[in-house]
Amino acid sequence: MTENRQEQSPEDVLREVVKLCGSCGVCHSMMGTDCAFFIKLFQLRVLERNESIPASDAQLRDLADLCTLCSLCPCPKIPIKVMEAKSLYVEQSGMPFASRLISDVPRLARLCSTFSRLIEVLQSNHTLDSLLRKATRIHPDRELPSFPKKNFFHWAADKGLDQKSKDKPHVTYFAGCAAGYLFPEVGRSVVEILQHNGATVYVPPQQCCGMPLLVEGDRDRTLQLASANMQRLLESARAGDDIVYSCPTCGFFLKSLLRERAYYSDSYQKSVDAADDVFKVPAPGYEERVFWHLNKSMYQKILKDDGYFSSIDPLDRVELSDHLSDFGAYLIRLHRQGRLATDFAPRPERMAYFAPCHLREQKIGRPYLELLKLIPNLVIEPVGGEFDCCGMGGVFGFKEHFHQKSLYLATPLMEKMRAANPRVIVTDCMSCRLQFNHCLPYPVFHPVEVLARAYQERKYESGGSCEYH
């Protein structure tokens, strides 16, 4: 894509997608109710085929705005093409103020915590509130998230976790924006769990992973953030640290999307001693390095490191991906090695666990479900199927044009959750948490909060302090 992207307009790219998916049709049935993008795409396709009315530029613009990069659709190249089109729109006409504001969580957090009193006043006055929502294009039915005054990174710095102690292996923690600014209790719980298991935690300087900017089409900022975080995290990897993340979207971005197509690069092929006539690519699903050998003459036209992130060193992208672990998967590995503390206090409650899209796309199972089952008397039931999505799409659910669509997409999952009627919902995605908070009456927690609390309550039973008592 990259070499001819200057020649292509966003409309060209989207017409290609409509043609490709329109003639394939698989997602017409498969994604028919789970993805607003495909619902619209096949409507345009039918108009084109039955009434020879080609999609207008405005319709294609709207179409692009409907993809939230959940990655549930089967062909990774389709959403990436849509991201390419979005970045071409931004290069053409810049990023709208509202999208820039809502996709930059650290800046939004600084604004909201600095001017919290002013925002309260604005929101308490109906006229001013609607003006604020008009400016930010946030749907009137959506409650604006409130940003705690003390974010996780300030708390971590107060604990000295932003400094590395000499001559000790560390576990480096990439918290991400949601745990960093919106739900700092999630970040604190990760630190508590690691320390309870004897780890020395390091919270390096970090920025947004880049996913919200990718979905909004800001290519330069996406690549900038990805490179900055990658360099920082590779320092930890090369120092021998384990690196964990607690947000499936950050994980999917840094571990899967960023690495996309890097294996096809010359430098990677050289690094695995591939012969001149074959591509050597890791076979998915193997812990140890097992390779597929693909005939180069057959595949060299399609297997290229020419994707969205090809301007970033492919060996660095692979190295980072190899060193990053979902925190749940990391704890399960410790457990399998007999190194995880299992002194959890009993919790006689019934909870429902939802495995978010970006966890499912990493193909690592549902580690937190397994971990939560280690808590005595806790009944934890998985809710949601292969294509169930909360519909929030990061921050898209807040947007005027996407609010109703997000509720429509969420309907099957919300009905299943109501039918399960749990006392508590548990999910690792904080965007899902916002949608569950909007749609359902049940309290919602990240699994690490439930695990950390179970450790604390056990400590309390044996005479220690505990914030829940």
Rg of the chain taking only CA atoms, in angstroms: 23
The correct pick among 18, 40, 71, 450 for binding ligand SF4 (CB under 6 A) is 71
Query: Is residue 31 part of the contact set for ligand SF4 (CB under 6 A)?
Result: yes
Which 8-state DSSP code applies to residue 142? Answer: S
Which span (68-76, 161-169, 172-180, 204-212) binds ligand SF4, by CB under 6 A? 68-76
Query: Is residue 24 part of the contact set for ligand SF4 (CB under 6 A)?
Result: yes
Which span (22-30, 223-231, 262-270, 457-465) binds ligand SF4, by CB under 6 A? 22-30
Closest CA to 401 of 112, 94, 36: 36
Q: Where are the alpha helices (DSSP H) in 421-462?
A: 430-439, 447-461
Name the phi and psi angles at 326, rounded to 5.
-60, 135
Q: Which is nearer to ligand SF4, 70 or 331 (CB)?
A: 70
Query: Is residue 26 part of the contact set for ligand SF4 (CB under 6 A)?
Result: yes
Q: Which is nearer to ligand SF4, 77 or 159 (CB)?
A: 77
The correct pick among 69, 203, 414, 452 for binding ligand SF4 (CB under 6 A) is 69
Q: Are 353 and 381 in contact (CB under 8 A)?
A: yes
Query: Is residue 60 part of the contact set for ligand SF4 (CB under 6 A)?
Result: no
The correct pick among 13, 37, 259, 391 for binding ligand SF4 (CB under 6 A) is 37
Q: Which is nearer to ligand SF4, 360 or 438 (CB)?
A: 360
Q: Which is nearer to ligand SF4, 189 or 427 (CB)?
A: 427
Residues 6+ apart with CB under 8 A from 265: 305, 310, 314, 315
In whole angstroms, the minimum distance from the beta carbon of 79 to ligand SF4 comes to 4
Q: Which two tokens stand for residue 436?
A: 């569950």
The correct pick among 75, 234, 294, 466 for binding ligand SF4 (CB under 6 A) is 75
Q: Which two tokens stand for residue 420?
A: 């399960």
Query: Is residue 171 part of the contact set for ligand SF4 (CB under 6 A)?
Result: no
Q: Which is nearer to ligand SF4, 73 or 214 (CB)?
A: 73
Q: Which of residues 76-95 bind ligand SF4 (CB under 6 A)?
A: 78-79
At 325 the three-state DSSP class reads strand
Q: Which is nearer to ligand SF4, 40 or 188 (CB)?
A: 40
Residue 92: count other Cβ atoms within 10 Å of its Cβ. Answer: 10
Which strands form 171-174's sheet, in the order they lie side by side?
201-202, 171-174, 242-245, 324-326
Using CA atoms, how far apart are residues 401 and 61, in angstroms rounded to an integer?
Answer: 12
Query: Is residue 73 part of the contact set for ligand SF4 (CB under 6 A)?
Result: yes
Amino acid letter, residue 449: E
In whole angstroms, the minimum distance from the beta carbon of 242 to ligand SF4 comes to 30
How far is C-alpha 350 from the chain's CA centre?
27
Pairing of strands 349-354, 324-326: unpaired
Which span (19-27, 137-145, 171-179, 249-257) binds ligand SF4, by CB under 6 A? 19-27
User: What angle do the packed helices 184-196 and 447-461 form, to 10 degrees?
Assistant: 50
Point out which residues pair with 291 in neighbouring strands. 282
Query: Is residue 21 part of the contact set for ligand SF4 (CB under 6 A)?
Result: yes
**Interacting residues toward ligand SF4 by CB under 6 A:** 20-21, 24, 26-27, 31, 35, 37-38, 67-75, 78-79
